[in-house]
Structure 1
């Protein structure tokens, strides 16, 4: 019998393979729908992410948003801790951070009201499967305890899955944006 950890590991492995195939086929131009969504939130502080490995690239949409308001990127504060966010803008001087994600050299704090969330897999109910560190779940719980915080999963269509293994601490997404569609969760 496979336990919850084994189920998540198997689901992650399958999703990573689907994401890698989609990433190789995408050719890099996948942020158009995300840009369209963010136009409706101009000026609202948001945080994206610096893509690593085969993650879909939000940087073009983040650059557009930065022309109208504050944009941050995540900074890992430590194991089992929520993320911090540092202000980012196109051309900002960056350095290597944990897990290969780049972070600004100058860490000016940002508290986002919108999070663009990377993921390994998602379902049509707003659930996501991440890398397993719980960083975004802790962060969303902390931010949502203070104010309404919109969580937008950004992924390739190929990352959609059914029957994701879930835990009680998993935070749901409000929306998922892919290269071809916008899914708003009820």
Structure 2
């Protein structure tokens, strides 16, 4: 699939997410249930933007440490900083993240925002490759669980996976949680 075709899929999926959205309360319930086996592990979530499914209510209930990603620059992996639930600074691309004095951490569970996903667990993000780079590094260091979070309306029939795409271990939506054997 060409970069133009993938960009078109991304634009269509993002437009559908803004138009259709989903059941936010169901997303929260399903994410809390999916995180239950991971209590006491360090969890990296994200600060939602542009109509993304919101992981914050589930993050607030998590019993382990919580972190948020920091985008250090283009074509670089994310840095994860501990988050106390309060202070945030604006980041690039419309992101929000903990301040520079927050400790850098290595999460064991990462909630990944999605533009789109398919039944095989493939995903499209925003096109910067930040999560793919980051998951590759985290997996090289040890075990990490990657949880895609989206509304069911973001599902597409097929998303072609490329060699650098990092697979998700599960996808949580407002309708269900899907687990993938890798």
TM > 0.5:
yes
How much has 1:94 moved relative to structure 2?
A: 1.1
How much has 1:38 moved relative to structure 2?
A: 0.9
**1:113 counterpart residue number:** 108
TM, length-normalised to structure 1: 0.91
**1:148 counterpart residue number:** 143
Is 1:94 the counterpart of 2:91 in the alignment? no
> What are structure 2's unaligned runs of at least 5 residues?
none
**1:5 counterpart residue number:** 3
In the alignment, which of 128, 136, 160 is matched to residue 123 of structure 2? Answer: 128
How much has 1:9 moved relative to structure 2?
A: 1.2
Q: How far apart, CA to CA, are the structure 1 residues paired with 2:16 and 2:53? A: 12
Q: How far apart, CA to CA, are the structure 2 residues paired with 1:31 and 1:88? A: 19
> What are structure 1's unaligned runs of at least 5 residues?
none
| SS at 1:40 equivalent | helix
Question: How many residues are aligned here?
Answer: 179
| SS at 1:31 equivalent | helix
Q: What is the Cα-based RMSD across aligned positions, in Å?
A: 1.3
The aligned runs of 1:17-56 (5 Å cut-off) are 17-23=15-21, 26=23, 28-29=24-25, 30-56=27-53
Structure 1 moving runs of 4+ over 2 Å: none
TM, length-normalised to structure 2: 0.93
Q: How far apart, CA to CA, are the structure 2 residues paired with 1:120 and 1:182? A: 17
